[in-house]
Structures are given as C-alpha cells and as structure tokens.
Amino acid sequence: MKPSTGDRIVSVIIHILLIIIGFVSIYPFWNAAVISFNNGIDALKGGITFWPREFTLDNYKFVFKDKRLINGFIISVLRTGLGTAGAILCTSIFAYGMSKKELIGRKFYMGMAVFTMYFSGGLIPSYLLIRDLGLVNTFWVMVIPGLISVWNMIVFRTFFKSLPPGLEESAKIDGCTNWGVFFRIVFPLSGPVMATIALFTAVYHWNDWFAPGLYINNPDLLPIQTKLQQIMNSNIMTEQLKQMDSAAAAHLSSLRSVTTKSLTMATMMVATFPILLVYPFLQKYFVKGVMIGSIKE
C-alpha cells in the first residue's frame, strides 16, 4: 500500500524533529569539546560554536600536568573498577541464591529486600551510619555502600531463572556444588546481563560526585567528578593557582592561553571520555537490560 500524502507529511515532520533532538542532544557536548581545544583567552571573546577558532592543545597539556587532576582521575578509575567488580560479584551471588526455588526463607528475604526499594532511612541516618562505621575519609566509602543493589539483584535473578534448568542438573550430576555451578556455568553464561549491569554500575561510580564530597575531606582521595565540581564551585583562578604545585604554576604562566573556563572544559572532556568510549558499544546489551528490569518492576 502506498503511503498517503498525510502520512508523508507526518513522516517528514518526524524526521525533522528527530534531527533537531539529535542535534540538541549532542550540541552542548560538542560546544564544550570545541572550547576545550580553543585558545582560552580567545574563547573569552565568545562566539565559538561549532569549530575552534584558535586551535590549541594547551588546555589538555595543562590538565595532564596538574597532579591533583591526574590523582583524581586515578581515584575515579580505582573506585569504578573496584566498585563495579565488587558490586557485580556480590549482587550476582545474592541473586543466584535468590533464584533457587528450594531456598528456605526466600519470600522473607525477598520482602526484606524489596521493601528497601520503597522506603529508606534517608540522607541523615545513612550519613550517621557511615560515620559510625568509620568509613568517613576512607577510599572504601565509595565502594562498600554500593556493593548490593536490590534492583540489580532482581534483574540478575530474572535472568538466572530463564536459564535452562538442565544445565545445572547435569553439572550437579558431574559433582559440581552450587557454588561451582554458579562460577563455572551460570557466571560465564551471563555475559549480556553482566555487561548491562556493569555498565550502569560503572557509570554510577564514575559520575558520582556527591557521596565523596559528603564523606571525604582528604583532597587526595577525591575522584575527578568531585574535584571538577569543587573547581566549578570556587571558579576562582587564584585559588587554583594557590593550590597548584609550583611547577604546574610556572607552566601555566608560560602558557598564557589557558583560562579557568577552557581548563574546566578540558577537564570535563577528560572526565567524560571513558564513558564516551564505552556506552555506544554496549547499546544492545543495556537496551535488553532495561527491558528485563522494567518487566520485573
């Protein structure tokens, strides 16, 4: 059947709207990237939109010379790596146990877990708990509170339940224990769901600036996002200069083309790059993951 004229007009409008949405989605990022590659003093004159006017790598040179930012970057990498690996391991083991029909007390455990999705103690009691546990000002405050996620447990459990039961049975006949079955058979089969949850967890860890800002005073332990937030909050060049080591300060004065804004933009690009590198390739997985999660709502 040929599309009617009305349908064709609608189709054209839809395509135009989608192009606008696509453009608006990417423009702020593009613009920031362009400014980060532009001479900072020149950028202050404004008017930079799609292309750099005076191309330079100085901003990036400066960022990569600033030990505090590099340190923040390393903390972010460590935190994301450990936090994600730990969360995947703990949550998937929990979910595997919960997927067993014969588990005694399963309903009770499930009720206890699901209740926390609807009701929580809130910010202040949690804050005091973290304090009482002695996690304040430690690296682990960024890892431990995220180890178990009820939501992810449900996603994992749904996936484990969908695996053919024959697999486990045959492994058990061969003498595998439940833990053995989990690590040798179920875990390797869970690639897609692991990839999804790993992506979401990693993105959470990488982007979280609030918890470190709340619990950590030691600047050497702050991840890049919190550093970025503090830089933007202070937004005073002199303060940055004061805190910088003298070599970097000397370097800055020799560059003369770097401003707080261009520097912030370059730091932002560095802080976003790892995510940008990963998410487009995991798309088909997380689309599936979101579906499993929403079915099980």
Partner 1 sequence: MTTQSAAVRKEKTRKKERYGRDLSLGRRLLNQWDIQLMVIPAIIYIFIFCYIPMYGLLMSFQDFSIFKGFWKSPWVGLKHFKAFLAAPDFWNIMRNTVVISLLRIFFGFPAPIILALMLNEVRNRTFKRVIQTVSYLPHFLSWVIVSSFVFSILSVENGSLNLLLLKLNIIKEPISFLDENKYFWSIIVTTGIWKEIGFGSIVYLAAIAGIDPQLYEAASMDGASRTRQIFLITIPCILPVIILFLILAIGDLLSAGFEDLLLLGSNPIQRPVSDVIDTYVYRHGVKTQRFSYATAVGMFKAVISIGLLAGANKLAKKTGNSLW
Distance separating alpha carbons of residues 211 and 146, to the nearest angstrom: 11
User: Could you give the CA distance from residue 8 to residue 11 in angstroms, rounded to a whole number?
Assistant: 5
Side-chain-facing half-sphere of 197: CA atoms under 13 Å: 30
Closer by beta carbon to partner 1, 57 or else 232:
232
The amino acid sitting at 77 is V
Whichever of 100 and 251 has its CB closer to partner 1, that residue is 100
Using the minimum distance from each CB to partner 1, give the nearer residue, 43 or 252: 43
Report the interhelical angle of 58-65 vs 67-98 (nearest 10°).
70
Name which of 52 and 251 has its Cβ closer to partner 1. 52
| Min separation Cβ 250 and partner 1, Å | 27
Which lies closer to partner 1 via its Cβ, residue 233 or residue 253? 233
Minimum distance of partner 1 from residue 255's CB (angstroms)? 21
Q: Is 88 exposed, middle or buried, given 0-12, 13-18 or 19+ CB atoms closer than 10 A? A: buried
Cα pseudo-dihedral 289, 292, 296, 297, rounded to 10:
40
CB of 56: closest distance to partner 1 in angstroms?
Answer: 18
Closer residue to partner 1, CB minimum distance, 103 or 250:
103
From the CB of 164, what's the least distance to partner 1, in Å?
A: 19
CB 102 → partner 1: shortest distance, Å?
6
Taking the complex as a whole, the smallest distance from the CB of residue 4 to partner 1 amounts, in Å, to 5
Quick one: 70 or 275, whose CB is closer to partner 1? 275
Q: Which residues pair with 38 in a beta bridge?
A: 55
Min dist. Cβ of residue 109 to partner 1 (A) = 6
Which is nearer to partner 1, 18 or 250 (by Cβ)?
18
Least spacing, CB of residue 117 vs partner 1, in Å = 9
